[in-house]
Amino acid sequence: MIWLIGEFRKHDELADAIRDLRGSGFTAEDIEVFSEEPVELRKGVLDRPSKMSLTAVLSAMAFGSLATWFVYYAQNDYRLRSGGMPYFSFWSTGVITYETTMLGAILAIFGAFLWESRLFRRRHPHAPIPECPPNSMCLRVHCAKIDAEIGASKMREHGAVEVKQCD
Partner 1 sequence: MAARAPETLSYGQIREDLFRPLSPFNSKWIFTCLAAFVFVVLGLVAWGFQLHDGMGITGLKRPIFWGFYVIDFVFWIGISHAGTLISAILRLTDAQWRKPITRAAEAITVFALMIGGLFPIIHLGRAWLFYWLIPVPNGRLLWPNFRSPLVWDLTAILTYVTGSVIYLYLPLIPDVAQLAKVNQTWRKKIYRLLSLGWSGSDTEWHALERAMKLMACVILAVAISVHTIVAWDFAMAISPMWHSTIFGPYFVVGAIFSGIAALMVVMSVIRRVMHLERYLTWRHFNNLALLLLLMSLLWLYFTASEHLTVWYGNEPSEMGVFGARVRGPYAPYFWAMVILNFVVPFILLGIRKLRTFTTATIASVCVLIGMWLERYLIVVATLGNPRLSSAHAVYAPTWIELAITAATFAAMVLLYMIFAKMFPIIAVWEFKPHPHEDD
Binding residues vs partner 1 (CB under 8 A): 11, 32-41, 46, 48, 50, 52-53, 56, 70-71, 74-75, 77-78, 80, 85, 89, 92-93, 95-96, 98-100, 102-103, 105-107, 109-110, 112-114, 116-120, 122, 129, 132, 134-135, 140
Q: Output 44 or 48, the one with its CB closest to partner 1.
A: 48
State in Å, rounded, how far the first CA of the chain is from the last one.
Answer: 7
Q: How many CA atoms lie within 13 A of 45 on its CB side?
A: 15
Of the candidates 117, 148, 97, the one whose C-alpha atom is nearest the C-alpha of residue 32 is 117
Smallest separation (angstroms) from partner 1 to the CB of 72? 9
Return the number of the residue (73 or 157) whose C-beta is nearest partner 1.
73
CA distances from 80 to 21, 60, 96 (A): 70, 31, 21
Please identify, using beta-carbon distances, which residue of 37 and 146 lies nearer to partner 1: 37
Q: How far is the CB of 96 from partner 1 (least distance, A)?
A: 5
Cβ at position 10, least distance to partner 1 in Å: 11
